[in-house]
Structure formats: C-alpha cells, structure tokens
C-alpha cells in the first residue's frame, strides 16, 4: 500500500524532474547550448543534485520533444537539424496549423478570442526589440492559445510536439533581415481572418505563414551545409572540407555547462 510518505517522495521527484526539464529546455532554446553540444550526465547530476535515473527520465522527455538526440555510446547532444529535417517538419506543421486556424475560427469562444488577441499583442510588443528568448516565448504562448481554441486535443498534442522542433529552427528564420516584420504581418493576416470568423481565410493565412518561414529555414540551412562541405585547401595538404575538419561535427564537442 502506498503511504503518505512515499506519495510525498513521488511528488517531490516529479516536481524535481519537471524543474530539470524546464531548466535544460530553456538553456537550449536560449542558445546557451548550441546544436551538437554534448550534455555530460555526471556534470548535470551534480549541478541539479539529482540522481542519474531522474536525469535520464528528463533527458528522454527532451529527446521526445526533438530538443535532444541520444547518440549510442556518446549520450545526449543538442539536436542538429538538417535542411531535409526542416522541410519535413514545416510540411507537417503547415498542414496542422492550417487545420488549427480553421478550427479556431469555427469553434473558439469569446474568451479564447480575447486570449489570442492578448497573445498577439504581446508578440507585437516583443517584436520591437531584438529577436531573442522573450520573442520565442511569446510566440509559443500565441500558438498555445491558437491550438487551445481549436478544441481538438489530438491536434493540440501533435502541434505541441512539432512546435518544440520549430522553436529549435525559429532562431534561423526570425534572425534573417526583414523576417520579423513579415512574420508580424503574416500573423496579423491570421488575426484578421479569425476576427471575421472566416475558417477558409484563417487556414490559408496559417499555411502561408508557415511556408514562408519554411522557405527561409531551408535556404539558411542549405547554405550552412554547403559551407560546411566546402573544400578547404591548406598549403602542402590535400583539400578537406569543413565537415572533415570537425566544424560540422559538434556532437563530439566539449560540454558547455559552464554557460548555463
């Protein structure tokens, strides 16, 4: 029989695991760890004063979200997304968000409309500054409000998992010159269609916003991959690529826990 003491211990462990997940997720999304950086379990256990069992549960959750990758015989690293990965992610996101926009326009309550308007206002305010973690946070809040008002729990769950992956890619798109202003305008189009209670226009505006972001992510990541593969000639040696020299293999890099 479960005793009050054991229940308290279980609750404490669950709370601690949640804290570790949120702390690591925030550190990664804010760029304190870069794609390919290796997370050393021993160091993280010491930092948070948690058991390796609890930490591995937390790391598994982040891996399920697409924020980490678990490499056999290497351990967890910050996820590395290729241009091909991005195309797959945005293709699925476009379909799901088109549905979310349609459903919100059809089903959202007045309170949910107000929550979405409030989230959009916060995004508009954050967009006046330099793209950073605050902007990513308010955009996450906006999408949470959009999916909540769609009243489809399965759609909400699927988009939540997609959005963690998108957040990993969003730094590539929002940092591009002019993209933030265009993104704000595209979301404004979504808001206008929703305000008119027009499911077709809301869905199309959502898809258009995603596909524009997808095109930028694809261009940026493709260019980075081409740069990594570009031959580098050194005097007296044969040509090698940046990838061969290790510039594109951050999975074996040193851990960056000191920057948390």
Report the pLDDT value the prediction gives residue 175, as an integer from 0 to 100.
67
Distance CA 150, CA 160 (A): 13
Report the pLDDT value the prediction gives residue 136, as an integer from 0 to 100.
78
Q: CB neighbours (10 Å) of residue 159?
A: 23
What's the whole-model pTM score? Answer: 0.76
**Which long-range contacts (C-beta less than 8 Å, at least 24 apart) are formed by 175-179?**
175/131, 176/216, 176/220, 179/213, 179/216
DSSP assignment of the chain: ---HHHHHHHHHHHHHHHHHHHHHHHHHHTTSS-TTPBPPHHHHHHHHT--HHHHHHHHHHHHHTTSEEEETTTEEEE----HHHHHHHHHHHHHHHHHHHHHHHHH--HHHHHHHHHHHHHHHHHTTS-SSHHHHHHHHHHHHHHHHHHT-HHHHHHHHHHHHHHHHHHHHHHTSTTHHHHHHHHHHHHHHHHHTT-HHHHHHHHHHHHHHHHHHHHHHHHHHHHHHHSEE--TTS--EEHHHHTTT-GGGSPP-GGG-
Per-residue confidence of the chain (260 residues) as pLDDT tens digits? 555 555 465 556 678 889 999 989 888 887 788 889 999 999 999 988 889 999 999 999 999 999 999 999 889 999 999 999 999 999 999 999 999 999 999 999 999 999 999 999 999 998 886 655 577 788 889 999 999 999 999 999 999 989 889 888 876 666 677 888 899 999 999 999 999 999 999 999 999 999 999 999 999 899 988 888 777 555 555 555 545 544 444 333 333 343 33
């Amino acid at each position: 029989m479960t005793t009050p003491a054991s229940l308290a211990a279980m609750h404490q462990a669950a709370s601690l695991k949640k804290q570790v997940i949120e702390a690591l997720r925030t550190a990664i999304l804010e760029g304190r760890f870069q794609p390919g950086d290796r997370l050393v379990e021993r160091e993280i256990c010491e930092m948070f004063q948690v058991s390796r069992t609890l930490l591995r549960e937390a790391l598994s959750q982040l891996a399920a979200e697409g924020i980490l990758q678990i490499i056999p015989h290497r351990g967890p690293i910050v996820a590395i997304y290729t241009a091909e990965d991005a195309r797959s992610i945005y293709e699925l996101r476009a379909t799901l968000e088109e549905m979310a926009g349609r459903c919100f326009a059809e089903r959202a309550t007045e309170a949910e409309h107000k929550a979405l308007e409030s989230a959009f206002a916060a995004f508009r305010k954050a967009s006046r500054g330099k793209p950073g973690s605050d902007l990513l946070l308010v955009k996450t809040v906006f999408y949470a409000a959009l999916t909540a008002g769609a009243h489809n729990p399965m759609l909400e769950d699927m988009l939540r998992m997609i959005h963690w992956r998108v957040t990993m890619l969003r730094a590539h798109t929002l940092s591009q010159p002019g993209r933030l202003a265009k993104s704000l305008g595209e979301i404004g189009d979504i808001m206008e269609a929703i305000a008119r209670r027009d499911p077709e226009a809301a869905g199309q505006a959502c898809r258009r916003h995603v596909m524009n972001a997808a095109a930028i992510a694809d261009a940026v990541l493709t260019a980075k991959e081409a740069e990594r593969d570009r031959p580098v000639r050194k005097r007296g040696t044969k040509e090698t690529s940046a990838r061969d020299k290790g510039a594109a293999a951050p999975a074996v890099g040193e851990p960056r826990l000191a920057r948390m």
